[in-house]
Amino acid sequence: MLPWRGDLAGRIEEGVVDSTMLRGNVLGDPHERPVWVYLPPGYDDTEGSGERYPSVYVIQGYTGHLTMWANRAPFRQPFVETADQVFATGTAPPCIVVYVDAWTSYGGSQFVDSPGTGRYHSYLCDEVVPWVDQRYRTITDRESRAISGKSSGGFGAMITPMLRPDLFGALATHAGDTLYEHCYLPDFAAAARHLRAYDGDIWRWWDDFRSRPAFSKREDESLLTSVGISAAFSASDDGTPVLPYDPRSGVVIDEVWQRWLDWDPVRMVDRYADALRSQRAIWIDAGDADDYHLDLGAQAFRDGLARIGVADEKVAFELFPGTHMAIDYRYPLSLAWLAQRLAR
């Protein structure tokens, strides 16, 4: 394996979705969004044959944006290449893989509709999916459409099929954000301490953050998460993110925190039990020493599926040795597993 590039057996088409949903979003972020559509080996050969393919939508973690999928790392291949190999090697039957962009100026959208960021859930479901289905030979049935992601992308992969089981019939979550008392809440204490240097005003930090190289101060990651997740889950009607904690003491503000908890996949399981039971395949994994305790979230989500009666044979669950970092080698595993289970 040479480090500089990898040739694909399939190919990627780079498109642009001109989103109506994202027009006029509060952050002024672009409504024209890039999208990559991976066409597996054989796709071009079947042109005209009418053969259609299942599709897997891939979404990113917080701060991710589409072109980061092309980033190269030492001793590893990008997912676009390891995903290609799943099909090139015949490990799984061919699928179309759709790389979706949901970046915002805050670093991400959590793939929900929010006045704090924009209508990213609707954009994904009602614009990107039809855009793909119109241009490529997908099987347009939910039984043949899956969604997958890591971290915030794993969160998106859990909630999107809950909200739209008519569109998605399978999912994979790698270290997906859930069990918020252990993934988000611990950071509030850190954030409150960091905010001492900003008189408790997170917007003073934000102005500072925008004025200098990002992540050049150690508080940046923590405070960006506060702003961004508040924008997604607890924005006021005018789009202002509302923090779920007192910025001076870190005291949790119950009513705002509840808005976050309403978006906790572990807590959504019962409310969306039918949607979850209707899934063909659910992959759940995390590193057993995940930095955000998402292994515990994975366990809790998996326990929730058992509680509502999702059949064991539909679930793949693993806590593997690892942290939250450098786990992209897990993605092709779930891709192959999903590809084997989607209807065709």
Q: Which residues bind a copy of itself (CB under 8 A)?
A: 2-5, 30, 34, 63-68, 70-76, 101, 103, 107, 179, 181-182, 185-186, 188-189, 192-193, 196, 213-217, 246, 248-252, 266, 288-289, 293, 295-297, 299-300, 303, 321-322, 326, 329
Closest distance of CB 141 from a copy of itself, Å:
31
Q: How far apart are CA 162 and CA 330, in angstroms?
A: 23
Closest distance of CB 45 from a copy of itself, Å:
30
Q: For a copy of itself, give the closer residue by CB, 24 or 321.
A: 321
Q: Which amino acid is at 69?
A: W
Closest distance of CB 165 from a copy of itself, Å:
24
Element (H, E) at 204: helix 202-210
Q: For a copy of itself, give the closer residue by CB, 43 or 233.
A: 233
Q: How far apart are CA 35 and CA 32, in angstroms?
A: 10
Closest distance of CB 184 from a copy of itself, Å:
11
User: What sign for the dihedral angle of Cα 324, 327, 332, 337?
Assistant: negative
Contacts of 225 (CB under 8 A, 6+ apart): 62, 184, 187, 191
Q: How far apart are CA 12 and CA 260, in angstroms?
A: 36
Q: For a copy of itself, give the closer residue by CB, 138 or 299.
A: 299
Rg (CA), the chain: 20
Other C-beta atoms lying within 10 Å of the C-beta of residue 89: 11
Token digits of residue 263: 């978006």
Q: For a copy of itself, give the closer residue by CB, 104 or 138.
A: 104
Q: Which of 276, 177, 273 is nearest to 233 (CA)?
A: 177
Closest distance of CB 249 from a copy of itself, Å:
4
Closest distance of CB 288 from a copy of itself, Å:
7
Q: What are phi and psi of 4, to 5 degrees?
A: -80, -25
Q: For a copy of itself, give the closer residue by CB, 165 or 200.
A: 200
Q: For a copy of itself, give the closer residue by CB, 55 or 77.
A: 77
